[in-house]
Structure 1
Amino acid sequence: MKTSSAIYQKLEAFIKKYYTNELIKGILLFTGFGLLYFLFTLFVEYFLWLKPLGRTFLFWLFVGVEVFLLVRLILFPLFKLFKLQKGIDYTQASKIIGNHFTEVSDKLTNFLQLSSENNSESSELVLASIEQKANSLQPIPFGNAINFKANKKYLPLALVPILLFAVFYISGNSNVISQSLNRVVHFNSAFLPPAPFKFVVLNSNLQAEQNKDFVIKMESVGNVVPENVMIHIGDESYFMESSQPGKFEFKVEKPAENIQFSFEGNSVVSEEYELKVITVPSIANFEMVLNFPSYLKKKSETIQGTGNAIVPEGTTVTWKMNTKSTQEVEWKRDNEVFKFNKVENDFKLSKNISQNTEYQILTSNDKVKNYEKLDYQLSVIKDQFPTINVGPAPDSLKLDKNYILGRLGDDYGLSKLQIVYYERNKPQSAKRGNIPVKAGVFDQFVFNFPSNLPVEEGVSYEYYFEVFDNDAPHGFKSTKSSTFSDRVATTDEIQDQELQQQNQNINSLSKSLKNQTKQISEMDKLQNTGKEKDNLEFKDQQKINDFIKRQKQQDEMMKQFSEKMNQNLDKFKDDKKDKTADDLQKRLDNAQKDLEKNQKLLDELKNLNDKLNSEELFDKMEKFKQISKNQSRNLEQLVELTKRFYVSKKAEQVAEKLNKLSEQQEQLSNKEKENIKEKQDEINKSFDKIQEDLKDLKEENKTLKKPLDIPSDASKEKDVDSDLNKASEELSKKNTSGAKPKQKSAAKKMKSMAQEMQSEMEGGEQEQLEEDVA
C-alpha cells in the first residue's frame, strides 16, 4: 500500500508542476499581449487625437482587456496552483502523462480505476493487483511530462513590446508615449491637437525694468508661417510687428507692473507668459551746490537738474539728490569710485575740484546694479596770473616825462603792488616798496621814481613793478613788469635843472617880447591901410583875421610860459622872505590878467571884422595897440626882473656849492684812512665845475641892463686851484701829512669865497633891483 501512496504523491507533484508551467506561460503571454495592446491604445490616441468620449471608451477598453488577460493568463493558473480553484484531477493528469509516456497510459488508468473501486471488503487478489501495477509505475518520472523549456516560444512575444519602448526612449520620441498616455489617463480633459507651428519666445528672460520700454520678441516654429500674430495683454489685443518672416516684435511702453500675455495666430493660441517688472532706482531731485574758494569772496551758487558746470579752481562741489527705490549712489571718475552718504532717500557727496573732471553718477538697488549712468563734466577755470602793463605817461595827462603809468588786472582780484629797485647791475641788493592798489580786478597807478623810496643821491637804479593776485592757495601769484632805469639826481643837479628851466623860460619870454613888437608893427600897417580906404576889402579882412589868429597863438604861448615860470618860481621859494620872488610873482599874475583882457578884446575884433564894421574896428584896434604896447613894456620889465632873479639864484647856488665843497675838503683832510688821491681828484673836479659855473654866471650877469655886483677874485680861485693840485700830488706819493695843510688851506679859501658871494648878494641885490624896477 505504500507504493500506491507514492503514486498519488507523484501525481500531485505533476499537477503542481503543470500549473507552474501554465503560470510561466501566462506571464509571458500577458507581458506580450498586454504591452502590445498598451502600445496599440497609445498609438490610436496619438494619431487620432480622440475626444474625451472616445478616450474614455479607449481607456476602459484597455482596462478591460488588461484585466481579462491578467485573470485568464495569470490569476487562473495561480489560483489552481494554490488549490484556490479546482484544477485538473488525477484522471486528467493521467491522460496528460499517458500522452507523454504511452507505455504507462493504460497501466496508470487501470491503477486509478482499481484504486477508486477498492474498499475494506476488497479481496486480497484485487489489492495484490493494485500493488503490482503501482510497483510497475513507480520508476516512471511523471514530472518529465511537463517541459518548462517549451515556453521559450512565448519569449519573443514578451520581448517585442519591451524593445519597442526602448526604441522610442533611445530615439528621443518618448513624448509619443508620454503625451498619449497623459491624454488617455486624463480622458475627461480636453486636449487640442498639435498646431502646424508653435510660438517660441526669443527673449532670454522676461524681465523688464520699471518705466523702461521692453520689446517682446517671438518666433513661430513649424511647417506653417502665420502672416499676422496678435498679442493679448489683459483684456486688450494688439498686432505684433513682423521684423522678418516668422519673427514678430511688440514694444511694451514703460511697464509699471507685471504683465500677463499670450500669442494668437491662424487660430493657434500659445500658452500664457508673464513679463515681470522690477523696480529700478530713480532720481527725483538733483542739485549741485558750488562753494567757491574764500579768497574770491563769492556767494555759493546752486545748480538744479544738471551735473555740468564751469567752476573756478579750488571750488568745493556738493552733490545732493533725492531718490526713489535707490539703495546706493556712486560718483565715478576713471578708476576712482566714491559712495554718496545716505540718509533715508537723500544722498550727499562733496569734493574739491581743481582740474577738468569728467565723471559719472551711478544708481543701484538690490535688483539692478548701475541702472542709471549719468555722464557729466566740470570745466575748471584756472586762476590766471595777474597782468601788468607799464609805460611812460601819455602827453594827454600833462605829466613830466619821468612819470610812469601802469595798468593792472587779474581775473579774480589784486592783492598788492610792489616796486623792486636796486643799484644798477646789483640785483642781489634789491629792495621793495609798496604802492597802494585796489582789491578789484583792475586798477592803474602813476609813479615817479624814486617817489618816497629811501635812495642815495647820485646813484643809478634799475627797477621794475611786481603785482600780486589774491590767489592764496597758490601763494599769491605774481607778474613782473619790464625793467626801467633812472638816476637819482643830487641836490645840486636838481638846482641846476631848475635854473636851466628858468633860463629856458627867460629865452621864451624874450622871444615872446620880439613877437609882440612884430605884432604891433603889423597892427600899424593894418591901421594905415584902413585909413586909406572907405571900406575894407576881402583881402584886408583876411589880413585882420590872420593877425587876430597870430595874436591868439602868441597869447596862448605867453600863457604857457607864464605857467611854467610860476611852477619854476615855486621851487625856488623858501621859508625866508624873498621880496624879489614876491615882486616877480605879482608881475606874472598881472601878465596873466592882461592875457585874459587881450583874449576878450581879440574876440571883439573878430566879431567886428566879420561884420565889416571898419570904423569901430579900427577904434578897437587902436585900443588894443595901446594895451599891447603897455603889455610889451611890462613884458620887457618882466624879462629883466626874471633874468636878475635867475642870476641871483644861480649866484646863491654857486656859493652853496662852494660851502659844501669846502666842508667835504675839510672832512677829507681829517680822515687818515679815507684821505686818498682818488677822492681828492673828485673834489678837484667839483671845483673845476664851480669855476665853469662862475664863468657862466659872469657872462649871464653882463646881459643885464644893470649887472649885479658879483664878487670875483681870480687870484683866490687860482690859489684854491693850486692848493688842490698840490694836495693831489702829495696824496699820489702817499704823503697824507704833506697833503693835509694844502687841503685845509683850500677849504678855508673856498669857504671865504662863498661867504663873500652870499654877503654881496644879500646886501646889494635888493637895492639895485628896486631901483631898476622903478
Structure 2
Amino acid sequence: MYSKKDSFLTLSLEIGLFINKYYKYELIRGILLSSIFLIFLLAGAWFLELLFRFSSFGRGVLLFSGSLFALIYVSKLVLFPLIRFFDLHGRMSHEEASVLLSEKIPEIGDQLVNVIELGKQLEKTETDLLKASIEQKALNSLKFDLRSSISIKDQKKVICGFLVLFFISGACSFLFPDSIIPPLKRVAFFQKNFERPNPYEFEVNNGGPLLVLENEHLEINIKTIGKTDPEQIFLYSKKKRFFPVKTSFKSFRYVFNSVNKSFTFNLLDGNRDTVNYDVTVLPKPRILKEKKIVRYPAYTQIANDTFYDLNRIIVPEGSAIDWEINCKSISFCSAIFEDSVIRSKNEVFGFSYSPKKSQGYKIFVRNTFSNFLDSSSYFIEVNKDGFPTIEVSEVFDSNRVNSRLFVGDISDDYGFHSLKFFCLRNDSVIYSEPLSFNGNNRAVFNFEYDFEDLALKNGDLIRYFFAVKDNDGINGPKEVLSRPMFLKVPSKERQKEIRKTKSLANNQSFGSLRKKLQNFNSELETMKTSILN
C-alpha cells in the first residue's frame, strides 16, 4: 500500500520506472527488428548479385547503399532508444507516459493524465484542496501496476519472426554454402575480380605440360570438370576449328599429327571463355651426316677415299679413318667401337680411329630434353695383306744342256719388295741374283741362266727356284717361293751317250734334208720341161 501523503511522489517514481522499462523493451525490439532487417537486406543483396552478377562498381553501390540503409534503420531502432534510456536526448515526459499508460491500461481512464496536469497546476498555485485532490487521484492510479503494462509477450511476433528467419537463413547457409556465400563474398569484396562460375572447365593431359618430340604425334586427352557433361567441345588452332572425339563420360580426345614446331591451341569452356594451352616441341636429336675419310697405309700407294653415310666399308689393315659426324639438337654424341668409346658434346664431331680388326660400330646421339635416342649402325671390314703369288715356266735349250730360260708372272695386293733367283746344292745357296721387273701389283719377268757358270761337277744335283717378297708395311714383307726345279749333272759315260745320240740325230736330220732337196730339184726340172713344151 502506498501512503496517502506521498502518493503523487510515488506515482512519479512509478512513471519513471515505467519509462525506463519502456525504453529497455524498445531497445530489445529494435535489436530484433534490426536483425530481421539485416537478414532481409543480406537476402536482397544476395538475390540481386546472384541474378545480375554486377560489376565491381555495381557491387560497390550495392554494398554502400545497403550499409547506409542498415545504419539508418539500426540508429532509429537501437541507438535512439539507448540515448533516451540514459536521458541524453528526447526522453519521454511524464505527460507522454501517462497518455501511453492510459492506452495500455484502459481501466485507468483519464485520471492518470489528470493527476499529471493537476501536479503542474500545483506548481503554479498551491492550495490544500488541490493537494488533496492530487493525492487522492494519485492514490487511485497507484492501484494499477503501471510497469506490468509492458511485457516481453508484446514482442512475441517479432521474436518468432526473428527466430524463424534466423534458423532459415542459418540452415540455408549450412546446407547450400556454395550458393549462398559466394554472392555475398563478391559484394563484401567488391574491388576484387571474381570469375563467373563455370559449368565445366578443362583438364588437359592430367594437367601436365604439353610436350611432344619433333615430328611426332601429340595426343590430347581432355577431361571436363564440373556439373555439366558437354556432348561436344571445340578446339581452335591456327584459325581452324577441330572437333575432339568424345571417348567416355566427360572425356574427349584429339591427335595432332607430325608436330614440327611449338604452337598454341584453345578451348571454349562452359562460359564460352577462351582457355589457351601452349604446346612445346622438343627438338629431336638427329644424325645428319656421317663422313669418313680413309687414309690407306703408305705402302699401298692408294689415294685417300671419302665416304658419306656408307654403312659398310672395306679397308686394308693399318688404315686410319677420320670421321666427321654432323648432328642436330644434341647434348652429346657417342661413337662406340669394340675397344673404345669416343664422346663429344658438339654438333660437328670429328675424331680419328684405326681399326685393328673387322668390327661393327654404332653412333648414338641424345639430348637432355627427352629420352629419345637416335642411332646408326655401321661395319668396317679389315682385310689383311695377302701373300704374293708366283708362276714360273722353264724353257730348255737343246744345244746348251745346262742353259735355261725362265718366264714368270708375279702378283700381289699392293706391290713387291724383291724378286730373287736362288741355286742350292746340298741345301746350301751357291748362287743368288736379284731380278728386275716392271709393274706395281703384277709383273711378268724373264731370266736366262747358264748353269755352266757354277763350275758344276759330274753327278751334282742343283735345286733352283725363285723367291718373291711383297711390300707389307704393317706385318713386314711376306716371302713366297716358286715351285722347285732341279738340274742333274750327268757322268762322263752319260755325256758320251748323249753326244752320240745327238750326232746320230743330226745325221738323220741331214740325210732327210738332202733327200728333200733332191725331190725339190726333180720337181723343179719337171716344171721347167713343162714350161718349154
Q: With the length of structure 1 as denominator, give the TM-score of the two structures.
A: 0.44
Give the aligned partner of residue 595 of structure 1. none
| Shift in Å, 1:162 | 0.5
Code of the aligned partner of 1:511: Q
Check conservation: 1:420, 1:430, Cα contact below 8 A.
yes
* SS of residue in 1 equivalent to 2:38: helix
Distance (Å, rounded) in 2 between the aligned partners of 1:7 and 1:201: 78
**Aligned residues with identical type, % of pairs:** 11
Give the aligned partner of residue 383 of structure 2. 382
Distance (Å, rounded) in 1 between the aligned partners of 2:499 and 2:60: 149
The 5 Å alignment of 1:92-107 reads none
User: Aligned to 2:172, which of 143, 161, 168?
Assistant: 161
* SS of residue in 2 equivalent to 1:317: strand
The 5 Å alignment of 1:325-724 reads 328-333=331-336, 338-340=342-344, 347-354=349-356, 355-360=358-363, 362=365, 364=367, 368=369, 373=374, 375=376, 377-390=378-391, 393=393, 407-416=409-418, 440-443=440-443, 467-472=469-474, 475-476=475-476, 478=478, 489=488, 493=490, 500-516=497-513, 519=516, 527=522, 613-615=527-529
Code of the aligned partner of 1:83: I
Distance (Å, rounded) in 2 between the aligned partners of 1:401 and 1:331: 67
| Shift in Å, 1:293 | 2.9
Give the aligned partner of residue 289 of structure 1. 293
Deviation track 1:204-249 (CA, whole Å, cap 9, x = no partner) reads 7556778x588796979865558xx79563xxx4575998998666
| Shift in Å, 1:487 | 6.3
Q: Give the structure, 1 or 2, with the largest relative contact order (CA under 8 Å, sep 6 or more).
A: 2
Check conservation: 2:406, 2:448, Cα contact below 8 A.
yes
| Larger helix percent | 1
Check conservation: 1:286, 1:321, Cα contact below 8 A.
yes
| Shift in Å, 1:79 | 2.6
Code of the aligned partner of 2:440: G
Code of the aligned partner of 1:359: K
Describe the shift of the 1:224–1:503 C-alpha distance in structure 2 as closer, same or farther (beyond 3 A). Answer: same
Check conservation: 1:241, 1:249, Cα contact below 8 A.
no
1:40 matched to 2:71: no
| Shift in Å, 1:512 | 1.7
* SS of residue in 1 equivalent to 2:354: strand
| Shift in Å, 1:320 | 3.8
Distance (Å, rounded) in 1 between the aligned partners of 2:508 and 2:118: 196
Describe the shift of the 1:128–1:249 C-alpha distance in structure 2 as closer, same or farther (beyond 3 A). Answer: same
| Shift in Å, 1:41 | 3.5
* SS of residue in 2 equivalent to 1:83: helix
Deviation track 1:620-672 (CA, whole Å, cap 9, x = no partner) reads xxxxxxxxxxxxxxxxxxxxxxxxxxxxxxxxxxxxxxxxxxxxxxxxxxxxx
* SS of residue in 2 equivalent to 1:380: strand
The 5 Å alignment of 1:274-285 reads none
| Shift in Å, 1:393 | 1.6
Distance (Å, rounded) in 2 between the aligned partners of 1:112 and 1:468: 158
Give the aligned partner of residue 4 of structure 2. none
Describe the shift of the 1:396–1:493 C-alpha distance in structure 2 as closer, same or farther (beyond 3 A). Answer: closer
Code of the aligned partner of 1:340: S
Distance (Å, rounded) in 1 between the aligned partners of 2:325 and 2:430: 55
Describe the shift of the 1:181–1:444 C-alpha distance in structure 2 as closer, same or farther (beyond 3 A). Answer: farther
* SS of residue in 2 equivalent to 1:393: strand
1:23 matched to 2:25: no
Describe the shift of the 1:401–1:21 C-alpha distance in structure 2 as closer, same or farther (beyond 3 A). Answer: farther
Check conservation: 1:59, 1:187, Cα contact below 8 A.
no
| Shift in Å, 1:274 | 5.0
* SS of residue in 1 equivalent to 2:31: helix
Describe the shift of the 1:187–1:379 C-alpha distance in structure 2 as closer, same or farther (beyond 3 A). Answer: closer
Distance (Å, rounded) in 2 between the aligned partners of 1:244 and 1:395: 97
Describe the shift of the 1:346–1:86 C-alpha distance in structure 2 as closer, same or farther (beyond 3 A). Answer: farther
Code of the aligned partner of 2:502: N
Could you say which structure has the larger radius of gyration? 1
Distance (Å, rounded) in 1 between the aligned partners of 2:102 and 2:469: 144
Distance (Å, rounded) in 2 between the aligned partners of 1:433 and 1:131: 177
Code of the aligned partner of 1:409: S
Distance (Å, rounded) in 2 between the aligned partners of 1:402 and 1:2: 179
Check conservation: 2:98, 2:116, Cα contact below 8 A.
no
Check conservation: 1:27, 1:73, Cα contact below 8 A.
no
Describe the shift of the 1:17–1:243 C-alpha distance in structure 2 as closer, same or farther (beyond 3 A). Answer: closer
| Shift in Å, 1:382 | 1.6
Describe the shift of the 1:327–1:449 C-alpha distance in structure 2 as closer, same or farther (beyond 3 A). Answer: same
| Shift in Å, 1:386 | 2.0
| Shift in Å, 1:462 | 10
The 5 Å alignment of 1:200-349 reads 223=230, 225=232, 231=236, 233=238, 237-238=239-240, 255=261, 270-271=274-275, 287-303=291-307, 306=309, 308=311, 310-312=313-315, 313-320=317-324, 328-333=331-336, 338-340=342-344, 347-349=349-351
Deviation track 1:664-698 (CA, whole Å, cap 9, x = no partner) reads xxxxxxxxxxxxxxxxxxxxxxxxxxxxxxxxxxx
Code of the aligned partner of 1:615: T
Check conservation: 2:210, 2:279, Cα contact below 8 A.
yes
Check conservation: 2:388, 2:479, Cα contact below 8 A.
yes
Distance (Å, rounded) in 2 between the aligned partners of 1:260 and 1:338: 40
Distance (Å, rounded) in 1 between the aligned partners of 2:300 and 2:318: 10
Provide the alpha-carbon RMSD of the alignment.
7.0
What stretches of structure 2 of length at least 5 have no aligned partner? Answer: 1-8
* SS of residue in 1 equivalent to 2:476: coil
Distance (Å, rounded) in 2 between the aligned partners of 1:432 and 1:80: 151
What stretches of structure 1 of length at least 5 have no aligned partner? Answer: 47-51, 528-543, 545-604, 619-774
Give the aligned partner of residue 733 of structure 1. none
Deviation track 1:184-203 (CA, whole Å, cap 9, x = no partner) reads 97999999x999x9999779
Distance (Å, rounded) in 1 between the aligned partners of 2:500 and 2:36: 157
Give the aligned partner of residue 742 of structure 1. none
| Shift in Å, 1:506 | 1.6
Distance (Å, rounded) in 2 between the aligned partners of 1:339 and 1:72: 84
Describe the shift of the 1:296–1:512 C-alpha distance in structure 2 as closer, same or farther (beyond 3 A). Answer: closer
Give the aligned partner of residue 79 of structure 2. 79
Code of the aligned partner of 2:70: L
Check conservation: 2:387, 2:480, Cα contact below 8 A.
no
Distance (Å, rounded) in 2 between the aligned partners of 1:79 and 1:133: 32
Check conservation: 1:4, 1:131, Cα contact below 8 A.
no
